[in-house]
A and B are shown apart, each in its own frame.
Chain A
C-alpha cells in the first residue's frame, strides 16, 4: 500500500465493491475468466506460457517472456497477510510492508522508490488478509535493478526504531485517509468483525491505532525472520527478457539467502454460524444509508466459489444486471449496488453492498434483495444471462493481459493461494464449467438466513450538529 491508496491492502472487498458498482460491472481482480463459447467461435487465445524453477533455498520462480513491449514486471509474493497477525498486533503485516521501503544493506531509506522512478519505472506493495506482494515495472534494460532491489531487502532488511516510528505515522495517516476520514470508511471493518468469529479474518488489514502504536522493533525483526524467507515467497517475472539471463541474475542475488523453518500455518476455520447477525453503525460523514449483507461461503478456487462469482455478476455486473435494473433504475431506491464473493484462502464472504438513496426505507430495500435471492433459489437464470457473464469475463481478462504487472501479480496470487500458477490460464475453464443448476444450488446452499450478517451504516447528523453546538 504504498504510493497509492488505490490498492487492495486494507479492504480488498470494499475496493472491489466500489468498482463493481459502476456501470460496466467490473469484476474483482482475481475473477478473471473466459467465455464458454465453443472453441471455434473464439478467434484468439491469449494464454500465457511460463516456466517454473525452484532455488535450493526454496524460492519459487515463475518466468514468462513477452517481447511485445520493452518492459517487464517483477513481483515477489510472500505467504503472509493479516491473518497471520496475533491479537494486540492488528495491522502489523501491512505496517511491515511499509518497512520494506525503508532500506536494506545496499539500498538507503526511500531509495527504492527513487531508483525505480528515476529509471522510468513504478513500484508498490500491497497487503491483504492472505498475502503480501511487492512489485516493480521497469524498462527492459533495467532487468538487474528490479531483481537486485527485491533480493536486497529479502536478504538484509534494515529495521530501525526511527524508521518504524516514521512509517507507523504514515500508516496511521493511511488509515485516517482511507477509513476514519471517509464516508463508509468503517463499514468494512464492522462487517468482518461481525461476520467472522475467528480472529484471523475478523480484524482488518489496516488494524487499530492502538495496536499500530504497540508494534516494536523486535516484532518487526521476528516477523522478518519468520515470514520473509525465500521458502515462503514466490518470485514472478513477466516481460521482455531472456529466460536464461533472468534466471542467472535471480540466482546471483537470491541464492545466498538462507531458508528458514516453515512458518506456522494460521487456523482460519470458522465455527458454524447458527443464526443471523445484525449490526447498526453510525457514520459521521455519510449522507445516505448503506446496507451490507454478507453470507459465509467457501474458500476461493472451489467450484462453488466460481459459481458464486458468476452469480454476483448476474446480480450486479453491468447495467442490465438484475439488481442494477431493479434498485437503481426501476424502483429508484439505491445509488449504487454490488454483489459478489471476496476471495480468501479460507472461509470467504458473498457480499452485497448497496448505498441507498437518501430517505429510502432500508427495511424495504433489504426485503427487495431477499426477493432476488429467493428468485435465484427458486428458478434457474436465463441462458442469455449465463452467456453474458462468460462474455464479460472473457473481455475483462483479455484487457487485463496487456499489463505485465497484472500477469506477474496473478502468478504470485495463484501460486501462494492455491499452489497452482497454471490457474492464470485454466481459470477460464473453471468459470465455463459453471452451469445454471450450479447457480441455483449455490444460491440455496449458501445464501441462507442462518449464514447471514447484516450491517447497516446510517448517517449521523446528530453527531455533526453536536460538534458544532459544543463550540
Chain B
C-alpha cells in the first residue's frame, strides 16, 4: 500500500476499526461540525462471512550475506535470481544534511547530485550517455533531516560489471565541475519557487519548523542565499571529509553471486580510504509543550491540508513496537479509525492517515489529510475525537488482535521484492538492532497489549501540546482554527504575516 498520502514518513504500518462513544480531547473547545449537510447513514459494517485462514503465514526472511571490506565498508548482499536485475544502494552516514552548516543548507544534497556531473575521466554528458546505453539508473540524494546520503544504482545483470564500474567511478572520482555546479544551482533555484505551488510542500515546511524547532531537521528546503553560498570548494571539502567508507553500508540485491562479488568489490573500492571524520550529532529535538496553530494562507485553495502532531520517539525506543500497533489502529491505512471515520462515514476527504518518523533521533507522529474547505471545522473535531478515544479508552480486544495480525501477516508481502527484504536488513544494521530483530518482529508485535497501546497514545499523542498546521484559504478557515489556540499566519512564500488571535489576513 504505497499510498501517496500527504504524509510521507519512514515508519508506516497499517490498521483496523471499531466505533465507540465520541470523546473529545481534554481542554478542547467543544466545537460542532460547522456543516451538517451530510448526516451519514453510510456506516461501516462487518458481516464476518468471508472465508479466512486464521493462521498468520509464518515467513522467514532470506538473510543477506554480510561482510566488511578492508576499508571498513559494510556489505549486505542478497541473491535473487528471478529476473536479470540488480539493485545497489550505498548509504553514507555522516554525509547527510543533518550535519550541514546552517548557512549552507542544501550542501549535502548538492554534493550528492554533483557526483554524476563529472569525474576525472568523464564529462556529465558522457556519464549520462553511458548509463542510459547500459539501461541502468544512477542517482544520489541527501534529503533534509537525514544523517546520510543515499547513492543508488540499478540495472541488468547482463552488464552489471559495466554499470557498476561506472557507478564506482562516479562515487570515487568526482570532479565537481564549476560550470555544472552553476547549472545545478540554477535548476534548484527555479525549483525553490515552483515547490511553493503545492500545498504538501507548504504543510511540510511549516510542520517541520513547528515540531523540530532549532534542530536541523526543521529545514525542508534550501534558500536562495544558501544556494548562493555553495561553491566548488565547499562541495569538495564536504565530499573529502564526509564520504568515509567506515561509515557506509553498501546493500546489493538481485541476480549476483555474493562469493564472486565480494572480491570484485574489494578491488573496486580499494582506492576509497578510511578517514577520521567525527560525526557530532545535534542535540535531540524535544516535543513542543503547548499547542500552537499555524495557518498558511494559500489563496484559491478549495481544500484545507491539515497536519497535526508532535515529536515522539527514536527508532531504538522500547516504545517503537507498541507505537507501530497504536498508529496502525488509529491511522495506519485504509482500515484505520481516521480513514473509516473521516472518509468512509463522513465523506470529508479522499484519504486521511497517520504515521510516524523514528530515526536515530526522535521524530514526529503526525496525522493529516486534505479536506474541502467547508468541512475543516468538522474534520478537526473528528481528528481530536479519535485522538481522545485512543488515549481515553482501551482498545477493544478484537480490534487489537486484528491490528496486530494485519502487521504480522503483511510481512509476507515484502518477500516479493528483494529490495524490500534488503531494506529491512539495512535498517537493522543502521539502527544497530539485534541480529534476530526481524525474525522475532511478528512475535513482538503479537505481544503488544491494550495497555501498551493506551500508554503510548497517552505519552506521545497529547492534544494539549500538538502542533497543528493548516494550509488553505485563510479567509475562510482562520476563524475555524482560532478556538484551538494561538494562530500564526503565514503566506505561501513562507513569510509570517501575523501572530495573534485577533489578527486578520491582510
Contact = CB atoms under 8 A, between A and B. Distances in A.
A102 to B, nearest CB: 8
Contact of A139 (B84, B347, B412): B412
Interface stretch (B55-63, B167-175, B318-326): B55-63
Given A71-B412, A117-B16, A118-B405, A176 B372 contact: yes
A148 interface: yes
B51 A180 contact: no
B302 interface: yes
Contacts of A114: 16-17, 44, 46, 335, 402
Interface in B339-355: 339-340, 343-345, 347-351
Given A2-B334, A118-B335, A144-B51, A182 B85 contact: no
A420 interface: no
Interface string A104-118: 001111110111011
Interface residues of A, number: 104
A108 B49 CA distance: 9
B45 A109 contact: yes
A402 B417 contact: yes
Nearest to A109: B45
A221 interface: no
A468 B156 CA distance: 54
Interface in B382-428: 402-403, 405-406, 408-413, 415-418
Given A109-B44, A119-B406, A181-B301, A44 B132 contact: no
A403 B416 contact: yes
A319 B115 CA distance: 14
A244 interface: no
Contacts of A245: none
A210 to B, nearest CB: 15
A335 B194 CA distance: 9
B233 interface: no
A391 B370 contact: no
A320 B131 contact: yes
Nearest to A117: B335
A401 B3 contact: no
Given A103-B45, A114-B335, A120 B50 contact: no
Interface string A267-293: 000000000000000001111100000
A387 B5 CA distance: 38
Interface string B182-203: 0100110011011011110000
Contact of B134 (A139, A358, A391): A391
Give the contact-size bracket for chain B: 35 or more
Given A170-B347, A170-B350, A117 B406 contact: yes
B251 interface: no
A217 interface: no
B83 A111 contact: no
Interface string B244-264: 000000000001000000000
B14 interface: yes
Contacts of A258: none
Interface in B342-381: 343-345, 347-351, 370-372
A70 B416 CA distance: 8
Given A23-B139, A173-B349, A395-B155, A70 B50 contact: no
B370 A176 contact: yes
A358 B197 CA distance: 12
Interface in A136-157: 137, 139-142, 144-145, 148-149
A162 B84 contact: no
A131 B81 CA distance: 34
Contacts of B255: 44
Interface in A405-419: none
Interface stretch (A298-306, A324-332, A341-349, A368-376): A324-332
A259 B431 CA distance: 56
A391 B82 contact: no
Contacts of B433: none
Nearest to A335: B190
Contacts of B190: 288, 335, 357-358
A236 interface: no
Interface string A177-191: 110111100000000
B161 interface: no
Interface string A7-28: 0000000000000000111000
A173 B373 CA distance: 10
Q: Which of B53, B475, B504 has the most CB of A within 10 A?
A: B53
Nearest to A22: B139
Given A70-B57, A117-B14, A120-B56, A107 B131 contact: no
A320 B125 contact: yes
Interface string B1-24: 111110000000011110000000
Interface of B: 1-5, 14-17, 38, 40-47, 49-53, 55-57, 59, 81-85, 116, 124-125, 128-129, 131-137, 139, 154-158, 183, 186-187, 190-191, 193-194, 196-199, 255, 298-303, 333-335, 339-340, 343-345, 347-351, 370-372, 402-403, 405-406, 408-413, 415-418, 475, 504-506
15 contacts: A5-B351, A23-B137, A24-B139, A44-B158, A109-B43, A111-B45, A117-B1, A120-B410, A169-B38, A181-B370, A328-B187, A391-B133, A393-B135, A395-B154, A471-B504
Interface of A: 2-6, 23-25, 35, 37, 41-44, 46, 68-71, 102-103, 106-111, 113-115, 117-123, 137, 139-142, 144-145, 148-149, 160, 162-163, 165-174, 176-178, 180-183, 284-288, 317-321, 325, 328-329, 332, 335, 355, 357-358, 384, 387-388, 390-395, 398-399, 401-404, 463-464, 467-468, 471
Given A122-B1, A140-B412, A142-B52, 8 more contacts: A5-B3, A107-B47, A115-B52, A118-B403, A391-B132, A391-B135, A401-B83, A402-B417
